[in-house]
Chain A
Amino acid sequence: MLLRGLGAAFVVALAAVRNLQYVDSDSSALICCRRDLMLGNGQALSAGSYAVVVDKLFKSYGKFEALRGISFTVKQGEVFGLIGPNGAGKTTTLRIISTLLQITSGTVTVVGTDIGKHAERARKILSYLPEDAGAYKNLTGREYLQFIANFFEDWHDVGEMVARGVSIADLGERIDDKVETYSKGMARRLLVARALISNPKLAILDELTSGLDVINAREIRKIVKDTAATGTTVLLSSHNMLEVELMCDRIALINDGRIVETGTPSELKSRYSSSNIEEVFTKVVK
């Protein structure tokens, strides 16, 4: 597959964007919230209606416990925010859901697929954008998108995917320049395009706009919101509370490896008598 991808790296076919629609079996769930999830206790919980089901997830690095039995669900089509202080376990959680790290105990299901048992299957339907991700510098933006699209050629039209990626990145003529010549904002736009190119059922975005200027950050947020509107579930983490408030349908607060709060932004603000999520965050964490 890798060789095929490399071999086809210079063949680019332009095609119309295919706008895949995923069935949201419970669209009303966008405004629904559950403060305490009691998963694994015999209560029937259909994993099929959720894009992500995390149940009693533990993760240890040697003696250090990074995650201490976290549970939460993300409904299909939802934009779900995971927020917490540095070292709380956000990135570890996202990396586990992305199949990068192994589970110490507990289960994670992505659109009905148990990632502990079927990681390769899960990789076909999810996409992960790490906080400090990079692209291959010796490729042009278009070649990079082509390289990524080639991995999906068994179930997607590569030409359409590249065209979609070029459209999302919106880099104009610079899409044919080498990645090494890109500014940080341009590189991030390319990487966001990469993450959304396959129209994934679940997009996991770590610190989506970290280090970007206001204009770039706004544009990238809009891209993600537009993609979510087409049915892609988004799970993101951010230190930018304004971003979280603007983008997320629901939020989970994680601290010291545990989920300490879950709810919609308005619910959380009302619960903690706060005017914004930053205040909520401060009150919960302190």
Chain B
Amino acid sequence: MSSFTNIVKKELRELLTKSTILPIVFMALLFGSMGSMFGGVEEAITSKPVIGLVDQDSGVLSDIAADILMNASTMVYDGTDVQEGLETVTNEGGSALLVLPSNFTDDIMSGKPGTITVYWIMRGAGLMDTIPSTSVDNLLSVLSANLSAYLIETGTSLDASLVLSPTTRTQTTIFQGKEMSGISPSDLSAVLSSQSIMIPLVIVMIIIMAGGTVVSSMAMEKENKTLETLLTLPVSRTSIIAGKLVASAIVGLLMAAIYMVGFSYYMNSVTGSSNIDLKAYGLGLGALDYVLIGLSLFMSLLAALALCMVIGTFAANYKSAQTLTMPVTILALVPMFITMSKDFDTLPLLGQAVMFAIPFAHPMMAVRSLTFDDYGLVLAGIAYSALFAIVMIAIAVWIFKTDRLLTGRIGKKAGRSILKGGLIGLLVSRHRKT
């Protein structure tokens, strides 16, 4: 064996350990499941939009419009009653009800743009949730172009600008039981996203900073050989854990705050202020809502740090601490991206289960939920995060009280019971001879 091969072999043996491979496998699985979750995007974009049509006009242009809509969409309602149409479209999973008023053809023929009233049935405020409305937007463009073509073919004497743009639109968005006139799902989604983007970012920052600090702190105690001394001092295990959690939380919050100051300036410079005032639609956040967001944030952080503390007990040194922090970071990034692209309600069941199971996801979802007075999910999230934190702290205290912290050994029975508790960190374990 050449010296070069010898070195390569030694390096590979050092680098390809269980603690480096398992987090990567975990991440691959995570991305795989995310892929299947978002797999429907292309289908959603290319498939025909599901709509309803209320045609109150019997003119030639409304007939053309109806034909086009019939061909280019999946029509679940074709009638004359708006209320009935809305109910049908909502129940059939449609995204919009288009209303052609009785004077549609007459208006255009008399030189005024024909008004199409659009009732948007919005199911979620994430970026992906607005895909159906984009399809309907495209449909309306096609409709307008076809009416222009008809007008040109018939040699109309109408004004050219009207011929090229024969329709106008009034719109009302219906979301979470509230009717908001004058705004489209895209407008609403943009406002809600800009409103709720900061919390997911803050959470991710804190998890990366504070979580990493907790894991590293445990690793450094081992690497610097100070852990054994600490454990024989007259201080309770709970105090050691609490002390490390609080110190890491302070450091994490401080570092995250510094990052966020810079980031908020960046955000203000790249995003313009919105003209939509949500309070006008009764969608503002009250004092109680802010208390709940704070509580959700606190519980989520506690859960994250406690999870990192448990993971930290398996970090043999600083290098393995870095690797072990990675899955936690990914766990924080996943709900951030999901929150931005889809609402909890519009996720498939597996996605909902994943989102609910990640304790960091709850404060990310809280702002939007509370904007629409959905207290159930927020309260359940707070309760779950608190329970998660309690279980993690109990596991950390248990590990500290046993000699597993020093020997790295987890009994089969104990390991099974911990895994049943949903502890991902324990997927990574190390075995050190004593």
Interchain CB contact under 8 A, B229 and A133: yes
- A215, CB-defined interface residue at 8 Å: no
- B226, CB-defined interface residue at 8 Å: yes
- What does DSSP make chain A's interface, helix, strand, loop or mixed? mixed
Tally of contact residues, A, Cβ under 8 A: 35
- B247, CB-defined interface residue at 8 Å: yes
Binds A, one of B6-14, B231-239, B263-271: B231-239
> Roughly how many angstroms separate A3 CA and B231 CA in the complex, as a whole number?
15
- B434, CB-defined interface residue at 8 Å: yes
A24 to chain B minimum Cβ distance, whole angstroms, is 23
Report B233-249 CB contacts with A as 1/0, cut-off 8 Å.
11110011011101100
Report A86-126 CB contacts with B as 1/0, cut-off 8 Å.
00000110010011111000000000000000001001101
Interchain CB contact under 8 A, A130 and B225: yes
Chain A residues contacting B240 (CB-CB under 8 Å) are 2
Interchain CB contact under 8 A, B229 and A120: no
Interchain CB contact under 8 A, A194 and B229: yes
- B374, CB-defined interface residue at 8 Å: no
Report B364-383 CB contacts with A as 1/0, cut-off 8 Å.
00000000000000000000
Interchain CB contact under 8 A, B402 and A1: no
Among the listed B235, B407, B409, which residue makes an inter-chain contact with A1, where contact means beta carbons less than 8 Å apart?
A: B235
A240 to chain B minimum Cβ distance, whole angstroms, is 20
**Which A1-36 residues have a C-beta within 8 angstroms of B?**
1-3, 5-6
A202 to chain B minimum Cβ distance, whole angstroms, is 11
Closest to B407 in A: A61
Interchain CB contact under 8 A, A134 and B226: yes
Among the listed B236, B243, B434, which residue makes an inter-chain contact with A120, where contact means beta carbons less than 8 Å apart?
A: B236
Interchain CB contact under 8 A, A61 and B434: yes
Chain B residues contacting A61 (CB-CB under 8 Å) are 407, 409, 434
Known: A95-B406, A148-B233, A151-B235. Contact between A128 and B434, CB under 8 A? no
Chain B residues contacting A135 (CB-CB under 8 Å) are 224, 226
- A132, CB-defined interface residue at 8 Å: yes
- A127, CB-defined interface residue at 8 Å: yes
Interchain CB contact under 8 A, A98 and B243: no
- B87, CB-defined interface residue at 8 Å: no
Chain A residues contacting B63 (CB-CB under 8 Å) are none
B218 to chain A minimum Cβ distance, whole angstroms, is 14
Known: A100-B403, A136-B226. Contact between A128 and B239, CB under 8 A? no
Closest to B246 in A: A3
Chain A residues contacting B239 (CB-CB under 8 Å) are 1-3
Known: A62-B409, A151-B234. Contact between A128 and B403, CB under 8 A? no
- A152, CB-defined interface residue at 8 Å: yes
Among the listed A101, A126, A130, which residue makes an inter-chain contact with B229, where contact means beta carbons less than 8 Å apart?
A: A130
Interchain CB contact under 8 A, B233 and A6: no
Known: A61-B434, A120-B236, A151-B235. Contact between A100 and B228, CB under 8 A? yes
Among the listed A66, A102, A152, which residue makes an inter-chain contact with B234, where contact means beta carbons less than 8 Å apart?
A: A152
For A120, A126, A134, A191, the residue with the greatest tally of chain B CB atoms inside 10 Å of its CB is A134
> Roughly how many angstroms separate A85 CA and B434 CA in the complex, as a whole number?
15
Among the listed A6, A92, A151, which residue makes an inter-chain contact with B247, where contact means beta carbons less than 8 Å apart?
A: A6
Chain B residues contacting A99 (CB-CB under 8 Å) are 231-232
Chain A residues contacting B406 (CB-CB under 8 Å) are 95, 100-101
- A222, CB-defined interface residue at 8 Å: no
Known: A101-B406, A151-B234. Contact between A3 and B434, CB under 8 A? no
Among the listed B229, B246, B402, B409, which residue makes an inter-chain contact with A128, where contact means beta carbons less than 8 Å apart?
A: B229
> Roughly how many angstroms separate A108 CA and B403 CA in the complex, as a whole number?
16
B184 to chain A minimum Cβ distance, whole angstroms, is 53
Known: A61-B434, A134-B226. Contact between A123 and B407, CB under 8 A? no
Interchain CB contact under 8 A, B226 and A100: no
Closest to A194 in B: B229
Interchain CB contact under 8 A, A130 and B243: no
B114 to chain A minimum Cβ distance, whole angstroms, is 72
- A174, CB-defined interface residue at 8 Å: no
Closest to B411 in A: A62
Known: A61-B434, A100-B406, A124-B234. Contact between A2 and B224, CB under 8 A? no
Chain A residues contacting B235 (CB-CB under 8 Å) are 1-2, 5, 123, 151
Known: A61-B409, A130-B225, A134-B225. Contact between A120 and B403, CB under 8 A? no
Interchain CB contact under 8 A, B236 and A1: yes
Closest to B241 in A: A2
Closest to A98 in B: B232
Closest to A119 in B: B401
Among the listed A62, A126, A136, which residue makes an inter-chain contact with B232, where contact means beta carbons less than 8 Å apart?
A: A126
Interchain CB contact under 8 A, A137 and B224: yes
> Roughly how many angstroms separate A135 CA and B233 CA in the complex, as a whole number?
14
Known: A95-B406, A194-B229. Contact between A120 and B234, CB under 8 A? yes
**Which A46-83 residues have a C-beta within 8 angstroms of B?**
61-62, 66
Beyond the given pairs A6-B247, A133-B228, A151-B235, 16 more chain A to chain B contacts, judged by CB atoms under 8 angstroms and listed by A's residue number, are A1-B243, A2-B235, A2-B242, A6-B243, A91-B434, A92-B434, A98-B232, A100-B403, A100-B406, A120-B236, A124-B234, A128-B229, A130-B229, A132-B225, A133-B225, A152-B234
Top-7 shortest CB links A-B: A2-B243, A134-B225, A101-B403, A128-B232, A134-B224, A124-B234, A123-B234
What are 15 A-B pairs with beta-carbon distances under 8 A? A1-B235, A1-B243, A2-B239, A2-B240, A2-B244, A3-B239, A3-B246, A61-B409, A66-B434, A91-B434, A95-B228, A99-B232, A100-B406, A134-B226, A151-B233
Interface residue ranges, B against A (CB under 8 Å): 224-226, 228-229, 231-236, 239-240, 242-244, 246-247, 402-403, 406-407, 409, 434
Interface residue ranges, A against B (CB under 8 Å): 1-3, 5-6, 61-62, 66, 91-92, 95, 98-102, 120, 123-124, 126-130, 132-137, 148, 151-152, 191, 194
